[in-house]
Amino acid sequence: MILVTGAAGGPQGATGRQVVDLLLERGERVRAFVRSDDHRAEELRKIGAEVVVGDLREITTVRPAMRGVRRAYFTYPVTAGLLDATAAFAAAAREEGVERVVEVSQLDASPMAGTPRMRRHWLSEQVFDWAGVGAVHLRAGVFFENLAVVAAASGNRELALPLGGKDTLIPLVAAADVARVGAGLLLDSGPADPVCLVNGQMATIGEVAEAFGIPYVDVPPEEWEARAMDIYQDPYAVEHLTHLWGIFRFIGSGHHPLYGVTESIKDIGGRPPVTLREFAAGR
Protein backbone atom coordinates (compact mmCIF):
# COMPACT_ATOMS: atom_id res chain seq x y z
CA MET A 1 0.00 0.00 0.00
CA ILE A 2 1.35 3.42 -0.98
CA LEU A 3 0.03 6.48 0.86
CA VAL A 4 -0.19 9.64 -1.25
CA THR A 5 -0.86 13.04 0.31
CA GLY A 6 -2.12 16.09 -1.57
CA ALA A 7 -4.05 13.47 -3.52
CA ALA A 8 -6.98 15.72 -4.39
CA GLY A 9 -4.59 18.10 -6.17
CA GLY A 10 -4.52 21.85 -5.74
CA PRO A 11 -3.55 25.08 -7.49
CA GLN A 12 0.21 24.81 -7.01
CA GLY A 13 0.84 21.78 -9.21
CA ALA A 14 -1.40 18.88 -8.15
CA THR A 15 1.65 16.65 -7.86
CA GLY A 16 -0.10 14.30 -5.42
CA ARG A 17 -3.04 13.81 -7.79
CA GLN A 18 -0.66 13.00 -10.63
CA VAL A 19 1.30 10.54 -8.47
CA VAL A 20 -1.98 8.73 -7.69
CA ASP A 21 -2.70 8.35 -11.43
CA LEU A 22 0.81 7.11 -12.20
CA LEU A 23 0.75 4.52 -9.40
CA LEU A 24 -2.73 3.24 -10.25
CA GLU A 25 -1.67 2.90 -13.92
CA ARG A 26 1.09 0.60 -12.69
CA GLY A 27 -1.39 -1.51 -10.75
CA GLU A 28 -0.31 -0.35 -7.28
CA ARG A 29 -2.66 -0.12 -4.31
CA VAL A 30 -2.99 3.54 -3.37
CA ARG A 31 -4.36 5.19 -0.26
CA ALA A 32 -5.20 8.80 -1.13
CA PHE A 33 -5.00 11.30 1.74
CA VAL A 34 -7.36 14.26 1.21
CA ARG A 35 -8.48 17.13 3.35
CA SER A 36 -12.12 17.25 2.26
CA ASP A 37 -14.51 14.53 1.22
CA ASP A 38 -15.58 16.44 -1.89
CA HIS A 39 -16.04 15.70 -5.61
CA ARG A 40 -12.27 15.24 -5.98
CA ALA A 41 -12.32 12.51 -3.31
CA GLU A 42 -15.23 10.87 -5.12
CA GLU A 43 -13.24 10.90 -8.37
CA LEU A 44 -10.29 9.25 -6.58
CA ARG A 45 -12.58 6.44 -5.36
CA LYS A 46 -13.91 5.99 -8.88
CA ILE A 47 -10.44 5.47 -10.32
CA GLY A 48 -9.65 2.87 -7.66
CA ALA A 49 -7.89 4.63 -4.79
CA GLU A 50 -8.79 4.07 -1.16
CA VAL A 51 -9.58 7.52 0.25
CA VAL A 52 -8.78 8.71 3.76
CA VAL A 53 -9.85 12.15 4.93
CA GLY A 54 -7.76 14.11 7.41
CA ASP A 55 -5.53 17.03 8.25
CA LEU A 56 -1.82 16.43 7.75
CA ARG A 57 -1.02 18.58 10.79
CA GLU A 58 -3.09 16.33 13.03
CA ILE A 59 -1.47 13.12 14.25
CA THR A 60 -4.88 11.60 15.09
CA THR A 61 -5.69 11.49 11.37
CA VAL A 62 -2.20 10.81 9.99
CA ARG A 63 -1.50 7.80 12.24
CA PRO A 64 -4.42 5.62 11.11
CA ALA A 65 -3.79 6.61 7.48
CA MET A 66 -0.26 5.16 7.77
CA ARG A 67 -1.39 1.66 8.83
CA GLY A 68 -0.06 -1.04 6.52
CA VAL A 69 1.85 1.49 4.41
CA ARG A 70 5.34 0.65 3.10
CA ARG A 71 5.94 3.71 0.92
CA ALA A 72 4.53 7.23 1.02
CA TYR A 73 4.47 10.52 -0.90
CA PHE A 74 4.42 13.71 1.17
CA THR A 75 3.55 17.14 -0.17
CA TYR A 76 2.30 20.17 1.71
CA PRO A 77 1.37 23.42 -0.07
CA VAL A 78 3.11 26.78 0.41
CA THR A 79 1.10 27.86 3.42
CA ALA A 80 1.54 27.77 7.19
CA GLY A 81 1.89 24.38 8.88
CA LEU A 82 4.68 22.58 6.97
CA LEU A 83 6.65 21.67 10.09
CA ASP A 84 3.58 20.46 12.02
CA ALA A 85 2.59 18.30 9.06
CA THR A 86 6.16 17.00 8.66
CA ALA A 87 6.47 16.04 12.32
CA ALA A 88 3.13 14.19 12.32
CA PHE A 89 3.93 12.39 9.06
CA ALA A 90 7.50 11.47 10.04
CA ALA A 91 6.45 10.18 13.48
CA ALA A 92 3.63 8.08 12.05
CA ALA A 93 5.86 6.72 9.26
CA ARG A 94 8.59 5.81 11.73
CA GLU A 95 6.10 4.06 14.02
CA GLU A 96 4.74 2.03 11.09
CA GLY A 97 8.22 1.08 9.80
CA VAL A 98 7.73 2.80 6.43
CA GLU A 99 10.72 2.07 4.16
CA ARG A 100 10.58 5.11 1.85
CA VAL A 101 9.02 8.58 2.08
CA VAL A 102 9.35 10.70 -1.06
CA GLU A 103 8.72 14.30 -0.09
CA VAL A 104 8.44 17.50 -2.11
CA SER A 105 10.99 20.14 -1.19
CA GLN A 106 12.47 23.10 -3.03
CA LEU A 107 15.59 23.56 -5.13
CA ASP A 108 17.55 25.48 -2.52
CA ALA A 109 16.41 23.87 0.73
CA SER A 110 19.23 24.87 3.07
CA PRO A 111 19.67 26.51 6.48
CA MET A 112 20.81 29.79 4.88
CA ALA A 113 18.36 29.79 1.95
CA GLY A 114 16.86 33.11 0.94
CA THR A 115 13.20 32.53 1.82
CA PRO A 116 11.71 31.41 5.15
CA ARG A 117 9.80 28.64 3.36
CA MET A 118 12.98 27.21 1.84
CA ARG A 119 14.63 27.18 5.26
CA ARG A 120 11.56 25.38 6.64
CA HIS A 121 11.86 22.85 3.82
CA TRP A 122 15.39 22.15 4.98
CA LEU A 123 14.15 21.67 8.56
CA SER A 124 11.45 19.37 7.23
CA GLU A 125 14.08 17.35 5.34
CA GLN A 126 16.08 17.05 8.56
CA VAL A 127 13.08 15.72 10.48
CA PHE A 128 12.42 13.10 7.78
CA ASP A 129 16.09 12.10 7.84
CA TRP A 130 16.11 11.70 11.63
CA ALA A 131 12.97 9.58 11.45
CA GLY A 132 14.86 6.89 9.51
CA VAL A 133 12.09 6.38 6.96
CA GLY A 134 14.27 6.24 3.83
CA ALA A 135 13.41 9.84 2.96
CA VAL A 136 14.07 11.16 -0.54
CA HIS A 137 13.80 14.92 -0.89
CA LEU A 138 12.60 16.12 -4.27
CA ARG A 139 14.26 19.51 -4.56
CA ALA A 140 12.30 21.08 -7.38
CA GLY A 141 12.67 24.31 -9.34
CA VAL A 142 9.80 26.74 -9.92
CA PHE A 143 6.75 24.94 -11.34
CA PHE A 144 5.54 26.23 -14.72
CA GLU A 145 2.12 26.22 -13.02
CA ASN A 146 3.33 28.88 -10.58
CA LEU A 147 3.85 31.33 -13.44
CA ALA A 148 0.61 30.25 -15.12
CA VAL A 149 -1.25 31.26 -11.94
CA VAL A 150 0.29 34.76 -12.13
CA ALA A 151 -0.67 35.06 -15.80
CA ALA A 152 -4.21 33.82 -15.09
CA ALA A 153 -4.62 36.47 -12.37
CA SER A 154 -4.35 39.16 -15.08
CA GLY A 155 -6.86 37.37 -17.29
CA ASN A 156 -3.87 36.09 -19.29
CA ARG A 157 -3.19 39.61 -20.55
CA GLU A 158 0.32 39.96 -19.06
CA LEU A 159 2.93 38.24 -16.91
CA ALA A 160 3.60 40.79 -14.16
CA LEU A 161 6.38 39.87 -11.76
CA PRO A 162 9.10 41.69 -9.80
CA LEU A 163 11.93 40.03 -11.73
CA GLY A 164 13.74 43.01 -13.24
CA GLY A 165 14.76 42.78 -16.89
CA LYS A 166 13.36 40.16 -19.23
CA ASP A 167 16.71 38.35 -19.28
CA THR A 168 16.31 37.23 -15.67
CA LEU A 169 16.72 33.46 -15.51
CA ILE A 170 14.44 31.03 -13.67
CA PRO A 171 14.99 27.32 -13.00
CA LEU A 172 11.73 25.71 -14.10
CA VAL A 173 10.00 22.34 -14.07
CA ALA A 174 6.56 20.97 -14.90
CA ALA A 175 4.68 19.63 -11.86
CA ALA A 176 4.02 16.57 -14.05
CA ASP A 177 7.75 15.86 -14.10
CA VAL A 178 8.02 16.22 -10.32
CA ALA A 179 5.16 13.71 -10.03
CA ARG A 180 6.83 11.33 -12.50
CA VAL A 181 10.10 11.38 -10.57
CA GLY A 182 8.17 10.94 -7.30
CA ALA A 183 6.26 7.95 -8.65
CA GLY A 184 9.46 6.48 -10.10
CA LEU A 185 11.12 6.62 -6.70
CA LEU A 186 8.09 5.08 -5.00
CA LEU A 187 8.09 2.18 -7.46
CA ASP A 188 11.82 1.52 -7.48
CA SER A 189 12.97 -0.98 -4.87
CA GLY A 190 16.67 -0.15 -5.32
CA PRO A 191 18.63 2.33 -3.21
CA ALA A 192 18.09 6.06 -3.76
CA ASP A 193 20.09 9.16 -2.92
CA PRO A 194 18.38 11.17 -0.18
CA VAL A 195 18.45 14.35 -2.30
CA CYS A 196 17.00 14.37 -5.81
CA LEU A 197 17.21 17.64 -7.76
CA VAL A 198 14.36 18.06 -10.23
CA ASN A 199 14.81 20.82 -12.75
CA GLY A 200 13.47 20.64 -16.29
CA GLN A 201 14.51 23.83 -18.04
CA MET A 202 16.34 27.13 -17.58
CA ALA A 203 14.43 29.99 -19.21
CA THR A 204 14.34 33.75 -18.95
CA ILE A 205 11.14 35.41 -17.79
CA GLY A 206 10.96 37.00 -21.25
CA GLU A 207 10.97 33.52 -22.83
CA VAL A 208 8.23 32.37 -20.45
CA ALA A 209 6.04 35.35 -21.37
CA GLU A 210 6.70 34.74 -25.06
CA ALA A 211 5.72 31.07 -24.71
CA PHE A 212 2.51 32.15 -22.94
CA GLY A 213 1.89 34.65 -25.76
CA ILE A 214 1.65 37.67 -23.44
CA PRO A 215 4.01 40.54 -22.52
CA TYR A 216 6.25 40.42 -19.46
CA VAL A 217 5.82 43.41 -17.15
CA ASP A 218 8.44 44.18 -14.49
CA VAL A 219 6.61 45.10 -11.28
CA PRO A 220 8.54 47.15 -8.70
CA PRO A 221 9.09 44.86 -5.68
CA GLU A 222 7.21 47.28 -3.38
CA GLU A 223 4.13 47.03 -5.62
CA TRP A 224 4.33 43.26 -5.96
CA GLU A 225 3.40 42.45 -2.35
CA ALA A 226 0.02 44.20 -2.57
CA ARG A 227 -0.73 42.57 -5.95
CA ALA A 228 0.33 39.20 -4.61
CA MET A 229 -2.06 39.41 -1.66
CA ASP A 230 -4.89 39.81 -4.18
CA ILE A 231 -3.71 36.69 -6.02
CA TYR A 232 -2.89 34.35 -3.14
CA GLN A 233 -4.87 35.74 -0.16
CA ASP A 234 -2.18 34.18 2.03
CA PRO A 235 0.58 36.22 3.73
CA TYR A 236 2.74 33.08 4.05
CA ALA A 237 2.73 32.45 0.30
CA VAL A 238 3.29 36.15 -0.42
CA GLU A 239 6.28 36.26 1.94
CA HIS A 240 7.85 33.23 0.25
CA LEU A 241 7.27 34.42 -3.30
CA THR A 242 8.38 37.98 -2.59
CA HIS A 243 11.73 36.69 -1.33
CA LEU A 244 11.99 34.10 -4.10
CA TRP A 245 11.44 36.58 -6.93
CA GLY A 246 13.89 38.91 -5.17
CA ILE A 247 16.60 36.22 -5.37
CA PHE A 248 16.06 35.68 -9.11
CA ARG A 249 15.92 39.43 -9.71
CA PHE A 250 19.25 39.78 -7.91
CA ILE A 251 20.95 36.98 -9.88
CA GLY A 252 19.45 38.27 -13.14
CA SER A 253 21.07 36.60 -16.13
CA GLY A 254 24.01 35.48 -14.02
CA HIS A 255 24.85 31.94 -12.97
CA HIS A 256 23.98 30.02 -9.81
CA PRO A 257 25.30 26.53 -8.93
CA LEU A 258 21.71 25.18 -8.81
CA TYR A 259 20.87 26.45 -12.30
CA GLY A 260 20.72 23.72 -14.93
CA VAL A 261 18.69 20.78 -16.16
CA THR A 262 18.87 17.63 -14.05
CA GLU A 263 19.06 14.03 -15.28
CA SER A 264 16.51 12.83 -12.71
CA ILE A 265 13.48 13.48 -14.94
CA LYS A 266 14.81 11.28 -17.74
CA ASP A 267 16.52 8.69 -15.54
CA ILE A 268 13.85 8.25 -12.85
CA GLY A 269 10.78 9.83 -14.45
CA GLY A 270 11.32 7.88 -17.66
CA ARG A 271 11.00 10.65 -20.26
CA PRO A 272 12.65 13.95 -21.18
CA PRO A 273 11.42 17.02 -19.29
CA VAL A 274 8.21 18.75 -20.41
CA THR A 275 9.37 21.90 -22.17
CA LEU A 276 8.04 25.39 -21.62
CA ARG A 277 6.55 25.31 -25.15
CA GLU A 278 4.78 22.00 -24.48
CA PHE A 279 3.44 23.29 -21.18
CA ALA A 280 2.26 26.56 -22.74
CA ALA A 281 0.57 24.70 -25.60
CA GLY A 282 -1.38 22.59 -23.10
CA ARG A 283 -2.65 25.52 -21.02
Ligand X SMILES: NC(=O)c1ccc[n+]([C@@H]2O[C@H](COP(=O)([O-])OP(=O)(O)OC[C@H]3O[C@@H](n4cnc5c(N)ncnc54)[C@H](OP(=O)(O)O)[C@@H]3O)[C@@H](O)[C@H]2O)c1
* Site residues, ligand X (CB under 6 A): 6, 8-16, 35-36, 55-57, 75-78, 81, 104, 106, 140, 142-143, 146, 175
Instruction: State which residue, 128 or 143, has the beta carbon closest to ligand X.
Output: 143
Instruction: State which residue, 143 or 216, has the beta carbon closest to ligand X.
Output: 143
Report helix, strand or coil for 50: strand
Instruction: State which residue, 189 or 235, has the beta carbon closest to ligand X.
Output: 235
Contact 138, 192 (CB under 8 A): no
In the complex, what is the shortest distance from the CB of residue 62 to ligand X, in angstroms, rounded to a whole number? Answer: 9
Instruction: State which residue, 143 or 279, has the beta carbon closest to ligand X.
Output: 143
In the complex, what is the shortest distance from the CB of residue 130 to ligand X, in angstroms, rounded to a whole number? Answer: 19
Which residue in 112, 163, 165, 126 sits closest to 142, CA to CA? Answer: 163
Enumerate the β-bridge partners of residue 169.
204
Instruction: State which residue, 75 or 168, has the beta carbon closest to ligand X.
Output: 75
In the complex, what is the shortest distance from the CB of residue 218 to ligand X, in angstroms, rounded to a whole number? Answer: 20
The strand pair at 30-34 and 159-161 is best described as unpaired
The residue whose Cβ lies closest to ligand X is 10
List the end-to-end C-alpha distance of the chain, in Å, as a whole number.
Answer: 33
Specify the amino acid at residue 212.
F
Contact 13, 77 (CB under 8 A): no
Instruction: State which residue, 161 or 175, has the beta carbon closest to ligand X.
Output: 175
In the complex, what is the shortest distance from the CB of residue 154 to ligand X, in angstroms, rounded to a whole number? Answer: 18
In the complex, what is the shortest distance from the CB of residue 102 to ligand X, in angstroms, rounded to a whole number? Answer: 12
Angle at alpha carbon of residue 134, lines to 12 and 30, rounded to 5°: 55
In the complex, what is the shortest distance from the CB of residue 166 to ligand X, in angstroms, rounded to a whole number? Answer: 20
Characterize 70-103 residue by residue with b for buried, 16 or more Cβ atoms within 10 angstroms of its Cβ, and e for exposed.
ebbbbbbbbeeebeebbbbbbbbbbebebebbbb
